[in-house]
């Protein structure tokens, strides 16, 4: 069977404790289901024709150069985007190539089919979840999408007992939510058993 192929915006090596533990390589996929007002990576949207397409074999060949760093520091590859969880088969095939020694982290909005997260939980070590806001109206206003899949996937993770393997980013988004909204999001996530949070404020650049 032919391997999956995916368009990749960039591969950034030697990142230290920014996308997971240890030394990591950040692999950024093209493609995202959201249309956030302050998109942090607009290259992930629109036509991806200018970006190189990789197979899992090709990506493994390019990232294994840092295997000694990964193993020595409990690091590995962080898949970001865009939305890496649109590519569960690609990432699963990559895990089969790199083996269990590398840490595989996913930077995700969780706004993907539940089947994708079910497929990825066995191969991912850490999920770095950008939740935006739990309030569905705030979420839709900011992303132009529903967060129904996000909630469903959070429940799946909780039912799987993987909450401690998640870092949940809860941003204060100027003009969209408040400190009280953010606290409500944190309380809702704590009720599901999530314990690791990254609270920060989006720095909005004025054009």
What are the pLDDT digits (tens) for 160-198?
Answer: 999 999 999 999 999 999 999 999 999 999 999 999 999
196: three-class secondary structure by DSSP:
coil
Q: How many Cβ atoms sit within 10 Å of the Cβ of residue 179?
A: 10
What are the pLDDT digits (tens) for 30-46?
Answer: 999 999 998 888 889 88
Average pLDDT of the residues of the chain: 94
- Whether 10 maps to a domain, the answer reads yes
- Whether 103 maps to a domain, the answer reads yes
Instruction: Domain count for the chain, please give it.
Output: 1
What are the pLDDT digits (tens) for 129-138?
Answer: 999 999 999 9
Which CATH number belongs to the domain containing residue 50 in this structure? Answer: 3.20.20.70
User: 3-state DSSP: the chain helix, strand, coil percent, rounded to 5?
Assistant: 40, 25, 40
- Whether 1 maps to a domain, the answer reads no
pLDDT at 59 over 80: yes
Which one has a higher pLDDT value, 14 or 48? 14
- Whether 207 maps to a domain, the answer reads no
- What are the CA-CA distances from residue 64 to residues 10, 46, 54, 100, 102 (Å)? 16, 30, 15, 13, 10
Which pTM was predicted?
A: 0.94
């Amino acid at each position: 069977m032919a391997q999956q192929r995916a368009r990749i915006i960039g591969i950034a090596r030697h990142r230290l404790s920014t996308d997971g533990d240890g030394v990591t390589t950040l692999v950024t996929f093209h493609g995202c289901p959201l249309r956030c007002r302050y998109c942090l990576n607009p290259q992930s949207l629109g036509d991806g024709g200018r970006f190189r397409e990789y197979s899992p074999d090709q990506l493994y060949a390019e990232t294994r150069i840092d295997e000694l760093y990964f193993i020595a520091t409990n690091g590995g590859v962080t898949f970001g985007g865009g939305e890496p969880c649109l590519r569960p088969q690609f990432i699963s095939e990559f895990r089969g190539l790199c083996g269990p020694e590398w840490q595989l982290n996913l930077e995700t909005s969780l706004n993907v089919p539940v089947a994708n997260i079910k497929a990825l939980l066995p191969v991912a070590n850490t999920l770095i979840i950008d939740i935006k806001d739990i309030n569905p109206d705030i979420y839709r206003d900011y992303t132009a999408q529903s967060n129904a899949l996000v909630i469903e996937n959070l429940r799946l993770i909780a039912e799987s007992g993987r909450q401690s393997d998640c870092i949940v980013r809860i941003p204060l988004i100027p003009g969209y939510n408040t400190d009280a909204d953010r606290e409500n999001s944190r309380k809702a996530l704590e009720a599901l058993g999530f314990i690791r949070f990254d609270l920060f404020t989006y720095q909005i650049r004025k054009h």
